[in-house]
Homo-oligomer: A and B are copies of this chain.
C-alpha cells in the first residue's frame, strides 16, 4: 500500500518505520529530520528491539509525495491550521485518511474539507520521544484503536488494523471511534496537563497521594463528560480509571508529550485536549470543573512563554 505520513514526529516516524519494515511503501513528509534521514536513514531505538532503515523516502513538500492509498496524520494539533493544505495533494478518489492525532476535533476538520467518507481516526497508546534528528526512542506500548469517523465497523477499518498488526503494531478496529477518543482523553487530560504545569513526570505525580487523588478526580470528570456523549457503551468509571492508573504506575518516570513541549518552549495542544472536550461536555450539560481549571492554568502559563 502506498502510504503518506504527514507529521513525522515521534509518533509518525515510529509507526511509519514499522509499516515500512513490514513491506509497505511509506513516504514521509519531513521537516526537522529531513537532512539527517536523507543521509543516514532512520534509527528506531525500541524497547522491542532496535532497528535501522537505511533507505527512507523523505520529502519536504506534500506535492512531491503525490497521491497515496492512505494518508496517516501524525501532525501536532497546534499545526492544524496547515492540515488541509498538507493532506490535500495526497488525495485520490479512494484515498483513506487516518488521523492518529491527539484529542478531539481532528476528524471533523478533515471531514469538513474532504468528506466524511475519507476519514478514519485512531488513538495511539504510544510512549515515544524524538532523539537526535533521524532517531526515535520507542519506550513502551504502541497499541492503536482505529475506527471510521462516520461510525460503524468497516472492511476498510479491519484491513488497516490487520496491516498494523502484520507490521508488529497491536491494533483493533472499533465501531465507536468517539468512545475510543474519549477513553484516551481519560489519560491525556490529567497526565499531559499536570506534567506540563508542574514540570514533573507521571511517576512523580502518582507518588504524591494528593496529586494521585487529583488525577483520579480529573479522570472521573472526563468519564462523566464522555458518558454524556451518547456512546455505544458507557465507560466504566472506577474500573477504567484504576486500570489507567495501574498502567501508568508501571511507566518509569515517563514524560508525556505536553511536558516535553513545555520544556522545549513549544506550544501545548490545549485546543484538542482541553478546549474542545470542555466544549463538547458543556454542550451536553456537563461541567468538568477541575479540568476547566487545569485548562485555565495551562492557558495562562502559555501566555508567558517567550516565543
Contact of A126 with B by CB under 8 A: no
Q: List CB contacts (< 8 Å) of A272-298 with chain B.
A: 289-290, 293-297
Q: How far is the CA of A210 from the CA of B300 in the complex (A)?
A: 7
In the complex, A197 has a CB within 8 A of chain B: yes
Neighbouring B residues of A217 by C-beta, 8 Å:
293
B296 touches A211 (CB 8 A): yes
The answer to whether A213 has its CB under 8 Å from any CB of chain B is yes
User: Cβ of A297: which chain B residues have Cβ within 8 Å of it?
Assistant: 197-198, 211, 214, 297
Complex interface: chain B residues within 8 A of A208 (CB): 299-300, 303
Q: Do residues A198 and B300 form an inter-chain contact, with CB atoms below 8 A?
A: yes
* Interface assignment of A301: CB less than 8 Å from any CB of chain B: yes
Give the residues from 192 to 209 in chain A that come closer than 8 angstroms, CB to CB, to chain B.
197-198, 200, 204-205, 208
Partner of A213, one of B213, B296, B303: B296
Given the contacts A214-B293, A289-B290, A293-B214, A198 and B301 also touching, CB distance less than 8 Å: yes
Check if A304 is an interface residue, CB within 8 A of chain B: yes
Q: A205 to nearest B CB, angstroms?
A: 8
Please, how many angstroms separate the alpha-carbon atoms of A197 and B294 in the complex? 12
Verify A296–B204 contact, CB threshold 8 A.
no
Q: Give the residues in chain B near A289, CB-CB below 8 Å.
A: 289-290
Query: Chain B residues with Cβ under 8 A from A204's Cβ?
Result: 304
Nearest CB of B to A120, in Å? 34
Nearest B-chain residue to A304, judged by Cβ: B200
> What's the nearest-Cβ distance from chain B to residue A9, in Å?
28
How far apart are the CA atoms of A204 and B303 in the complex, in Å? 10
Please give me the residue from chain B that is nearest to A295 by CB atom: B210
Chain B: minimal CB distance from A292 (Å) = 8
Are the C-beta atoms of A296 and B214 separated by less than 8 Å? yes
A211 partner residues in chain B, CB cutoff 8 A: 296-297, 300
Q: Which residue of B lies closest to A213 (CB)?
A: B296
Instruction: Chain B residues near A205: list those with CB within 8 A.
Output: 300
Q: How far is the CA of A290 from the CA of B296 in the complex (A)?
A: 12
A298 to chain B, nearest CB (A): 10
**Chain B contacts for A294, CB-based, 8 A:** 293
A296 contact from B210, B299, B301, B304, Cβ within 8 A: B210
Q: Are B293 and A293 in contact (CB under 8 A)?
A: yes
C-alpha spacing A296/B217, complex, angstroms: 12
Which residue of A197, A213, A294 has the most chain B CB atoms within 10 A of its CB atom? A197
- A residues with a Cβ closer than 8 A to B are 197-198, 200, 204-205, 208, 210-211, 213-214, 217, 289-290, 293-297, 299-301, 303-304
Top 9 A-B pairs, shortest CB-CB distance? A211-B300, A210-B296, A214-B296, A290-B293, A208-B300, A289-B289, A210-B299, A293-B293, A208-B303
Q: Told that A205-B300, A208-B299, A297-B297 touch, could you supply 13 new A-B pairs with CB distance under 8 A? A: A198-B300, A198-B301, A204-B304, A208-B300, A210-B295, A210-B296, A211-B296, A211-B300, A214-B296, A289-B290, A290-B290, A293-B293, A293-B294
